[in-house]
């Protein structure tokens, strides 16, 4: 009899072959739920609602460092993104250069969001801006009073304010009460006609490509988590899940490269894929703990600790069980 497991993931091309059954997980009968990151992460970190789930890398590292993690992570990186496009400023702030963020009030939905860790990291590494030199205003984007998923003990030199009662970050941006916003989702007012909110970087794609050329880093956002007691009881799950998710990603990559008919509702996607491969190589979205992913994770973890999110420094290999980073070969 197969093991029945609840599995929560995003609806991505790289998970679709699992969701529709083209790829099977050895020994497992999965019950898939396709959910938004916000719902998955809140339910996973607050209530451990799922047997297997996509996890925020940053929040998982918070829980792992303080020993409260209910999940063990596998090196399956379901979300990766360059975060230069995630930094927004208001026109009235007159911010045109990243260094002008110093001393400004910048909205964030949560301090611990992985996208925000990476954005603060690039601001510090490339422009010399420490997180302590910005006033962070935390709140809900469209609904007031969004909480942090996990309790944080932040350094005393950080200034993190909570938006006022009934206030949303979207409205604070419109009213000019904050100077900008950093987060994985664009604020709603950014899409409005004649918006007073713009991206800090006019050409975030080329800025991101330059970042990769200099650092070799393609930022990792999410990992796959398995309940700790479940993985300890059924150790085969590490390799079974890795093999299945890797196979699903390979199918997505093959379909994306098929030029017989465009698979994505976006012109020039094939040309963009060629451009990405020329710069980043054919295996630009790899799973596992190869040298590139190990370096990317270590840079993240070092900043995570420096930004006050992890109570102790972590190494990349601390994130994953040993049997998830070793596999057989012929």
C-alpha closest to that of 216 among 294, 149, 115: 294
Residues of the chain with CATH 3.40.190.10: 3-81+219-324, 84-215
Phi, psi of 55 (to 5 degrees): -130, 145
What's 94's DSSP letter? T
If DSSP states are collapsed to H, E and C, what string results for 213-267? HHHCCCCEEEEEEEEHHHHHHCCCHHHHHHHHHHHHHHHHHHHHHCCCCCCCCCC
- Give how far Cα 98 sits from Cα of 12, 56, 177, 202, Å: 32, 26, 19, 12
Of 2.40.37.20, 3.40.190.10, 1.10.340.30, 3.30.930.10, which CATH number belongs to 3-81+219-324? Answer: 3.40.190.10
Give me the residue label for tokens 């930004």.
307
C-alpha closest to that of 219 among 276, 300, 316: 300
Q: What fold is seen in the domain 84-215?
A: D-Maltodextrin-Binding Protein; domain 2 (3.40.190)
The per-residue pLDDT for 59 is 98
3-state SS assignment for residue 38: helix
CA 311 – CA 330 distance, rounded (Å): 41
The encoded tokens of residue 77 equal: 């990186």
- Give how far Cα 325 sits from Cα of 174, 194, 221, Å: 47, 49, 18
Give me the DSSP letters along 141-157. SSSS-PPPSS-----TT
Give me the residue label for tokens 């993190």.
160
What's 25's DSSP letter? P
The per-residue pLDDT for 193 is 85
Tens-digit pLDDT string for the chain (330 aa): 899 999 999 999 999 999 999 999 999 999 999 999 999 999 999 999 999 999 999 999 999 999 999 999 999 999 999 999 999 999 999 999 999 999 999 999 999 999 999 999 999 999 999 999 999 999 999 999 899 999 999 999 999 999 999 999 999 999 999 999 999 999 999 999 889 999 999 999 999 999 999 999 999 999 999 999 999 999 999 999 999 999 999 999 999 998 888 888 989 998 999 999 999 999 999 999 999 999 999 999 999 999 999 999 999 999 999 999 877 666
Q: From edge to edge, which strands make up the β-sheet containing 52-56? A: 28-34, 3-9, 52-56, 220-227, 71-80
Whole-prediction pTM value? 0.96
Q: From edge to edge, which strands make up the β-sheet containing 135-138? A: 159-162, 135-138, 105-108, 180-182, 87-90, 197-199
Counting Cβ atoms within 10 Å, is residue 117 exposed (0-12), middle (13-18) or buried (19+)? buried
Largest CA distance in the chain: 63
């Amino acid at each position: 009899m197969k093991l029945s497991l609840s599995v929560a993931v995003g609806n991505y091309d790289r998970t679709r072959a699992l969701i529709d059954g083209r790829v099977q997980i050895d020994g497992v009968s999965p019950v898939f739920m396709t959910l938004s990151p916000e719902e998955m992460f809140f339910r996973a970190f607050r209530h451990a609602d799922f047997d297997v789930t996509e996890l925020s890398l940053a929040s998982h590292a918070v829980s792992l460092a303080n020993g409260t993690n209910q999940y063990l992570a596998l090196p399956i990186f379901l979300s990766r993104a360059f975060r230069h496009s995630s930094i927004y400023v208001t026109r009235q702030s007159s911010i045109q250069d990243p260094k002008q963020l110093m001393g400004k009030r910048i909205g964030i939905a949560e301090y611990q969001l992985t996208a925000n860790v990476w954005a603060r990291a690039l601001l510090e590494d490339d422009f010399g801006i420490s997180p302590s030199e910005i006033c962070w205003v935390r709140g809900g984007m469209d609904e007031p009073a969004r909480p942090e998923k996990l309790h944080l003990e932040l350094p005393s030199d950080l200034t993190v304010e909570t938006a006022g009662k009934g206030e949303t970050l979207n409205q604070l941006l419109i009213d000019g009460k904050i100077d900008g916003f950093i987060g994985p989702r664009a604020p709603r007012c950014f899409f409005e006609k004649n918006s007073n909110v713009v991206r800090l970087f006019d050409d975030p794609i080329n800025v991101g490509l330059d970042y990769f050329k200099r650092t070799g880093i393609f930022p990792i956002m999410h990992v796959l988590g398995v309940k700790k007691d479940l993985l300890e009881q059924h150790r085969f799950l590490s390799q079974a899940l890795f093999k299945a998710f890797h196979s699903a990603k390979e199918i997505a990559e093959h379909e994306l490269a098929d030029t017989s008919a465009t698979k994505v509702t976006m012109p020039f996607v094939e040309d963009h894929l060629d451009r990405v491969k020329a710069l980043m190589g054919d295996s630009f979205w790899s799973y596992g703990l190869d040298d590139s992913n190990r370096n990317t994770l270590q840079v993240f973890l070092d900043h995570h600790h420096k930004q006050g999110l992890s109570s102790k420094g972590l190494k990349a290999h601390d994130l994953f069980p040993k049997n998830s980073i070793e596999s057989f070969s012929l």
